[in-house]
Amino acid sequence: MSYINWDASFETGVPDIDNQHKKLVNILNKLWDIHNAGGTNESLSPILSELIMYTKIHFNNEERHMEVAEYPAIDEHRGLHRDLIAQVADFEEKLKTGTVNIDNKLVDFLKNWLTVHILKEDKKYVPYMKK
């Protein structure tokens, strides 16, 4: 069973954004599966790095869409993106120095952030992109 089950409630109606969201969900599910199977920081770090890298790609793409759609709350939305990137970069640095481990708290944080962000924040720009 997946950690996050993709369903129609996550869809924005913007195909490339939805596809990127699905990929983010798949990467997070992979992180959860390996963590849940007793994965070590060494086996989980590359997946976390993949998630971080792809998140940055996705955020850039999403922000370009918002610019084209002239989404009025783009600055606030960008701020949410930057805050997450900063939090995860800080965690990744601590992981490299051995001061933290990948645990349920981190994976739950990422799951909650992603699902709430898609279902609440991303849904706000949908009407602007459909114009």
What are the pLDDT digits (tens) for 51-107? Answer: 999 999 999 999 999 999 999 999 999 999 999 999 998 888 888 888 888 888 889
Segment 2-39, tens digit of pLDDT: 899 999 999 999 999 999 999 999 999 999 999 999 98
111 inside domain: yes
Angle subtended at Cα 27 by Cα 12 and Cα 1, rounded to the nearest 5 degrees: 90
Q: How many domains does the chain have?
A: 1
- pLDDT at position 130 is 85
Can you give the pTM of this predicted structure? 0.93
Mean pLDDT of 97-122: 92
**What are 53-59's contacts with CB under 8 Å, separation 24+?**
54/20, 54/23, 54/24, 54/27, 55/24, 55/84, 55/85, 55/88, 56/85, 57/20, 58/17, 58/20, 58/21, 58/23, 58/24, 59/85
d(C-alpha 51, C-alpha 24), whole Å: 7
Q: Quick one: pLDDT at residue 95?
A: 83
In a domain, 35, yes or no: no
- The whole-number average pLDDT for the span 106-120 is 94
CATH number at residue 96: 1.20.120.50
70 within a domain of the structure (yes/no) = yes
User: What is the domain extent for residue 44?
Assistant: 40-129
